[in-house]
Chain A
């Protein structure tokens, strides 16, 4: 069974960096598919943030391009989100998810709530 699980701090101070990990079991992230980060804001708006492909290439939402980095550790079957210079507007529930090439998301993690506050 394919499972994705997000982990990371639930509280980040403004101007600092947000770092999250997505651990994948049941499928090897280099075997195929794209691996995305998506967030859901209070009030339910959802935003795709970016992905790392099975080959390691990345693609980011243009609105986040200067602040975001997605990387991976293939030995641990994990991929990571780093979002720099966070503000209170980055408070959201963050999900990792899998998609067939540029299509729907067929597996999602449970989500991790991150609050940006001093």
Chain B
């Protein structure tokens, strides 16, 4: 199994701030990585696929980067509607997920 280690587990940030969440894979996943946002009571929403491709309808303040085993999700100019949990998922070999990051407003 490919293990996905996501950090931090929780994060507190101010409106307008830039936030970065990271995922580390236990082996090279060749950019086969997606990021999702999940708000309480809602289903996960795809944000990023193929490590850096923005899904349809996702604001451009979200971006993804990385390669090999190290990946990150960046949110520029944090908005109140970005308060949510975020998780990564690899699809290089079956599917495994990161542990999630809960983002709150400071």
Partner-B contacts on A (CB < 8 A): 36, 38, 44-48, 61, 95, 99, 102-106, 108-111
Provide the residues of chain B in CB contact with A46, threshold 8 Å: 87, 89, 97, 100
Using Cβ atoms and an 8 Å threshold, which residues of chain A touch B49?
103-104
Q: Secondary structure of the A side of the interface?
A: loop
- Cα A47 to Cα B94 in complex, Å, equals 11
Q: Are A105 and B34 in contact (CB under 8 A)?
A: yes
The 8 Å CB contact of B85, one of A44, A95, A104, is A44
**Which B residues lie at the A interface, using CB under 8 A?**
32, 34, 36, 42-46, 49, 55, 85, 87, 89, 91, 94-97, 99-100
* Interfacial chain B residues near A108, Cβ < 8 Å: 43-45
Nearest CB to that of B92 among chain A residues?
A102
Given that A61-B94, A104-B89, A105-B89 are contacting pairs, would A45 and B99 also be in contact in the complex, using a CB cutoff of 8 Å?
yes
Cβ-closest chain B residue relative to A36: B95
Shortest Cβ-Cβ A-B pairs, 4 listed? A104-B34, A46-B97, A48-B95, A108-B43
The answer to whether A95 and B43 have CB atoms under 8 Å apart is yes
Contact A44 B99 (CB under 8 A): yes
Other A-B contacts than A44-B87, A104-B49, 5 sampled, CB-CB below 8 A, are: A44-B85, A45-B97, A102-B91, A105-B34, A110-B42
A111 with B46: CB separation less than 8 A: no
- Say yes or no: A44 contacts B100, CB within 8 Å: yes
Q: Which residues from B are CB-within-8-Å of A95?
A: 43-44
